[in-house]
Amino acid sequence: MVTTRALNMGGFLEPAHLLVGSALPENVDTVVVDGRILKQNGKLMALSAAQVVNEARAALENIRKRANWR
């Protein structure tokens, strides 16, 4: 679910244009996947932001090593 009350979400009538053209991660209020609430009231529930960043960095480092990219 996306909140449309933020300033960056104003001025659009077409929902698809609103989401594709203006929505930012902070506009995402709630995310439910397979019955699990992953984000609620704009806050991550299942993971911490630090955990996500650390896992992304580790994945990038792994890709760089496999590609022999320094």
In the chain, the amino acid numbered 8 is N
DSSP state of 5: -
- What pTM was estimated for this model as a whole? 0.61
pLDDT tens for the chain, 70 residues: list them. 998 888 888 877 788 888 888 899 899 999 999 999 999 999 999 888 899 899 999 999 999 999 998 7
Residue 12: Cβ within 10 Å count: 16
User: Between vectors from CA 55 to CA 52 and to CA 58, what angle results, nearest 5°?
Assistant: 150
In this predicted structure, what is the pLDDT of residue 18?
85
Specify the pLDDT at position 28. 93
